[in-house]
Amino acid sequence: MGSEESNEPTFTWTARQLASCCVWSPERPDTTVLFAAEELARYLQRIVGRDIPVAARPELSQHSLAVAPFGSNFTMPPSASPLVGFTIEPGADAIMVRGDTSSALLRGVYRLLQELGCEWSVRGRLYETVPTAATETFCLRAYRSAPRFQSVVYCSDIITWHYTQPEPLRERIVEDEELADWMAKTGATSFFFIRHPFDTKSAIEELQKSFSTRGITVEVGGHVLPTPLDRQWFPRHPEYFPLTHGGRRSETGNLCVSHPRARALVAEQAGHFLTAAGYAGALHIWGADVFGGGWCHCTHCEKLSPQEQSIVVCNAIAERLENAGVRVPIYYLAYHDTIEPRLRIEPHPMVWCEFAPRERCYGHHIGDRECGVNEHYRAALESYIQLFRGRVRAFEYYGDAILFFGCLVPIPRVIASDLATYEALGVREVSFLQFGQFSRWAYAPNFTAFAAASQGIPIGPALERLWSQWDGKAQVVGSVFADLEETMRALVRYGDVRLPPKRRTQRSDLRRALSAHLPRFTAMADELDSHRSPSLHALALLVRYTQTVFEGVAHELDTGQAADAIFSHALSILQSVDRTYKGVWGEFDLAVIHDLYKAAHLVPGWS
Ligand SMILES: [Zn+2]
Ligand SMILES: [Zn+2]
């Protein structure tokens, strides 16, 4: 937990004092340190209403900055090493910020600005609060960060950038420049571009600068196992490819992991994913995104579980990269048919487990002993943590507009408890799947809770600030979101919200919950609409959309018949919502997702 050390003395700084300062940086700052210095100067300038210059000071170490008056003779206090993250050290004549890396220093700068009263918003820089009273007095205390997680990651499927279409691509990039900014301000460390077999690129290069300037690591890979083994090998070497249950080699799916040449080819190709995006800091090697699919059933592979087939490939890739002197984490995926830890093979020390409990219950937190569904996932997770000696990332779906089918699913308290459980279990990294502006609009409370909780900050005040960013109607929005949270926690307990649950008991539980909660939506939407505010009206439309989707689910449960007309009606409700709210995903992808679910109604299983 980040902790204020309460026995530390406080130092009072006035806005007038700050106005006489400049931001001191080391003599040859790297891009991120320079950006940190400039950001600090930019915001201080807005706070004190006077130009704050950046100047170099040779005695400052590589990852440190100071705020001090011109001509002051401040000395740099010795560092209480080893640092974890960053420190803020206020004194009478200087405020020092130090990080153990450039990006940690930048996080320290944003934290200092928060101490000075700045408030960030997931909705974008337009919604930030910067104190501007020239008479302001600030009480500063020493602060030492203690990150709860080694990595805090946001991710998105590359296809959602529509990179072959210039217009949506341009818009989505603008959306994510906003996300990159907010990520840095709230302590995130990495961004992961999720690739699918049909993708032709591993990352969106246009965003590279936004991330690298802020010291945010880019990660590549994803559902790529079917990709590295080039299909051109199939006619000459079908033995490289998986043998199906039916006894024939299949061109689709993963590979025959028992074939040394197939393994070597995949390892070599996977290395190219990294080099193709030369700046990538991690590689994710996941199998084909299908339940029970893609693995080999030859006499050798048959002895291996899908988990073991997957780890054999990850190990081969890790060994190859290690031999080439490349030390990046390789992520094995625990998901769908690999969620159970059926592994008798030791993972290579560079291989991490990415635990993605997509079909978990979001009505309860992952550590909730009352929830049978999550109990099962948590037990699997605990085994994985042992097997991977702690090298585990929790891959979470808190902003996944596909899983939630575009519905409002505010679950900030579930998220805060999830992160506490993940930390207590020894999970070292957490990630958050989202799809740009649409997710930052529809799942704003989830982003806010995830960002606060991952930094060890209480979520309550962060949510209060978020509610006030809807036209200043904090009370109205806060109370509607509280009602929604209660309702949605009763409904999102069984994976894809669009598909009726598979088990009979889940179906009857859901039907009961729908009877109790469906009547509540209209009052929430009407309340939002009664304030004649465009942003509250847009939110009201999303409430009505959510209601209609669940009416469709209820119809399918009751009749066993497809509720296509109801889902189409739901989609039409969002048509009039402005793109500044629903973003590229709401404009282009949501309709595609509706069609996909209509077609793939009985074949669940893509992330
Ligand atoms: Zn095989
Ligand atoms: Zn549950």
pLDDT one-digit tens code per residue, 32-46: 999 999 999 999 999
- Distance between Cα 261 and ligand 1 center (Å): 12
Mark whether 323 and 451 lie in a shared domain: yes
607: confidence class by pLDDT, cuts 50, 70, 90:
very low
Question: How confident is the model at residue 280, as a pLDDT?
Answer: 87
424 CA from centroid of ligand 2 (Å): 20
**What spacing in Å lies between the alpha carbon of 373 and ligand 2's midpoint?**
6
Query: What b/e sequence results for 489-510 when a residue is b if at least 16 CB atoms lie within 10 Å of its CB, and e otherwise?
Result: bbbbbbbbbbbbbeeeebeeeb
One domain for residues 248 and 288: yes
Residues 140, 156 share a domain: no
> Do 439 and 401 touch, CB atoms closer than 8 A?
yes
The answer to whether residues 156 and 78 belong to one domain is: no
> What average pLDDT does this structure show over 541-564?
96
Whether residue 403 sits in one domain with residue 484: no
pLDDT over 90, % of the chain = 80
* Same structural domain, 99 and 39: yes
Torsion sign, CA atoms 43, 47, 53, 54: negative
Query: In this structure, are 89 and 177 located in the same domain?
Result: no
Who surrounds ion ligand 1 at CB < 5 A? 256, 258, 296, 298, 301
The verdict on 498 and 358 lying in the same domain is no
Residue 463 lies in a domain: no
Same domain, yes or no: 102 and 166? no
Same domain, 163 and 307: yes
Q: How many domains are contained in the chain?
A: 3
Rounded Cα–Cα distance for residues 214 and 209 (Å): 8
C-alpha 157 to ligand 2 mean position (Å):
27
pLDDT tens digits for range 373-413: 999 999 999 999 999 999 999 999 999 999 999 999 999 99
The answer to whether 99 and 29 have CB atoms below 8 angstroms apart is no
Residues 128 and 193 in one domain: no
State the CATH number of the domain containing residue 16. Answer: 3.30.379.10
The parent domain of residue 313 ranges over 151-457
418 domain residue, yes or no: yes
Distances (CA, A) of 126 to 129, 217, 469, 470: 9, 25, 10, 12
Q: Flag whether 605 is in a domain.
A: no
> For the domain that residue 220 is a member of, what is the CATH number?
3.20.20.80
Residue 232: is it exposed, middle or buried by C-beta count within 10 angstroms (0-12/13-18/19+)?
exposed
Q: What is the pLDDT of residues 64-118, one digit of tens each?
A: 999 999 888 777 766 655 556 999 999 999 999 999 999 999 999 999 999 999 9
pLDDT digits (tens, 9 = 90+) for 250-261: 887 888 999 999
Residue 511: band (very low, low, confident or very high) from pLDDT cuts 50, 70, 90 = very high
Q: Do residues 133 and 173 both lie within one domain?
A: no
571 part of a folded domain: yes
| Closest ligand (CA of 376) | 2
Q: Is pLDDT at 302 greater than 60 in this prediction?
A: yes
Distance (angstroms) between ligand 2 centre and the Cα of 495 equals: 11
